Amino acid sequence: MGKYQQNLRAKVVKEAQLKLSVHREKGTDTSMSVFEAAQLMDKIRWSKSHQEEEHSIFFAVSMN
């Protein structure tokens, strides 16, 4: 189940990054609101911070 969750999380992050890159390219001609862009950025940041927490837990356990 863990591998599935990692794949799903990676897919969500890739989609968010793609949408943000399209938003960046369109500039003022985009239909995306500031709030939608902020939600996508939050998804990316949350995923990265969550991955760091997982790695730090395993690192701490392996050191004991």
Task: Say how many domains are in the chain.
Answer: 1
pLDDT of residue 4: 75
Phi, psi values for residue 33, rounded to 5°: -80, 170
Integer Cα distance of 25 and 45 in angstroms: 21
| Collapsed DSSP state (helix, strand, coil) of residue 64 | coil
Structure tokens at 59: 């690192």
Q: How many CB atoms lie within 10 A of CB 16?
A: 19
The residue range of the domain holding 58 is 2-63
Question: What is the chain's pLDDT, residue by residue, as a tens digit (64 residues)?
Answer: 567 777 888 888 999 999 999 999 998 888 889 999 999 999 888 887 766 656 555 555 554 5
What is this structure's pTM?
0.66
